[in-house]
């Protein structure tokens, strides 16, 4: 009994090589080089995102209080307690926009100079003499 030795060679096609490379790239650690414009966008998000989140949280808390007040009145007939809780919830909901403006103003003061300097530098680079 003689066994023959078989050997086959397979080379990936160009498309397969590109697919392999793209999959490989997705698993490599990313080297991130931040451009000035990307930095400006990140700073703008650092100014705008926290006040939005805060206002959403305050609004939801106010809405929950308001709903609890309505439930106390309609479901359990606790008119006085339900009215007080409902009014407190309405006041909290009404305070959402002032809370947002205040938080945004504080964030603008914190990051404003850096954003203005960076934006001025970007505008100077892009001006045609």
Q: Is the pLDDT of residue 129 over 70?
A: no
Q: Kindly give, in sequence order, each residue whose CB lies less than 8 Å from that of residue 124, ignoring residues fewer than 6 positions away.
A: none
Q: Give yes or no for a contact between 13 and 98, defined as CB atoms under 8 angstroms apart.
A: no
Q: Give yes or no for a contact between 93 and 21, defined as CB atoms under 8 angstroms apart.
A: no
Q: CB 82: neighbour CB atoms within 10 A?
A: 19
Q: Give yes or no for a contact between 62 and 90, defined as CB atoms under 8 angstroms apart.
A: yes
Question: Which of these, 32, 22, 88, 92, lies nearest to 57 by C-alpha position?
Answer: 92
pTM attached to this predicted model: 0.72
In percent, the amount of the chain with pLDDT more than 90 equals 67
Sign of CA dihedral 32, 36, 43, 106: positive
- Per residue in 38-54, pLDDT (tens digit) is 899 999 999 999 999 99
Domain ranges of the chain: 36-124
- Per residue in 59-104, pLDDT (tens digit) is 999 999 999 999 999 999 999 999 999 999 999 999 999 999 999 9
Q: Kindly give, in sequence order, each residue whose CB lies less than 8 Å from that of residue 115, ignoring residues fewer than 6 positions away.
A: 40, 43, 44, 47
């Amino acid at each position: 009994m003689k066994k023959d030795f078989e050997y086959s060679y397979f080379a990936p096609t160009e498309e397969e090589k590109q697919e392999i490379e793209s999959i490989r790239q997705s698993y490599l650690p990313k080297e991130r080089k931040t451009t000035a414009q990307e930095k400006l966008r990140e700073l703008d998000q650092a100014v705008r995102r926290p006040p939005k989140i805060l206002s959403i949280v305050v609004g939801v808390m106010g809405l929950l209080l308001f709903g609890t007040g309505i439930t106390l009145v309609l479901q359990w007939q606790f008119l006085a307690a339900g009215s007080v809780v409902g009014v407190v919830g309405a006041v909290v909901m009404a305070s959402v926009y002032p809370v947002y403006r205040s938080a945004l103003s504080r964030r603008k003061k914190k990051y404003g100079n850096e954003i203005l300097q960076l934006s001025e530098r970007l505008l100077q680079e892009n001006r045609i003499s």
